[in-house]
C-alpha cells in the first residue's frame, strides 16, 4: 500500500474535481498514477526496441564487412 501526503491546496482542488466528476479524490489519484505507470512502461519498451534495432543494424554491418 502506498500513502501520499498531498498539500492542502492540491487536496482541495482534488476534492472539488472529484465532486464534479462524481468520483473520489482517491479514485482520481489512483487513475492518474495508473496512467503514468502505463505510459512509463510503454516508453521503456520503445527504448528497448530502439536499442535492439540499433544492435541488429550494427551486427548486420559487421557481418557485411566480414563477408567482404
Q: What is the pLDDT of residues 4-60, one digit of tens each?
A: 898 999 999 999 999 999 999 999 999 999 999 999 999 999 999 999 999 999 999
Q: What is the pLDDT of residue 27?
A: 94
- Output the CA torsion sign for 18, 24, 29, 30: negative
DSSP assignment of the chain: -------HHHHHHHHHHHHHTTS-HHHHHHHHHHHHHHHHHHHHHHHHHHHHHHHHHHHHHHHHHHH-
Q: How far is the C-alpha of 24 from the C-alpha of 58, rounded, in Å?
A: 52
Amino acid at each position: 500500500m502506498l500513502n501520499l501526503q498531498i498539500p492542502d491546496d492540491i487536496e482541495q482542488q482534488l476534492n472539488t474535481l472529484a465532486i464534479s466528476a462524481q468520483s473520489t479524490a482517491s479514485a482520481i489519484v489512483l487513475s492518474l498514477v495508473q496512467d503514468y505507470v502505463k505510459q512509463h512502461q510503454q516508453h521503456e519498451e520503445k527504448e528497448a526496441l530502439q536499442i535492439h534495432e540499433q544492435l541488429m543494424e550494427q551486427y548486420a554491418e559487421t557481418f557485411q564487412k566480414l563477408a567482404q
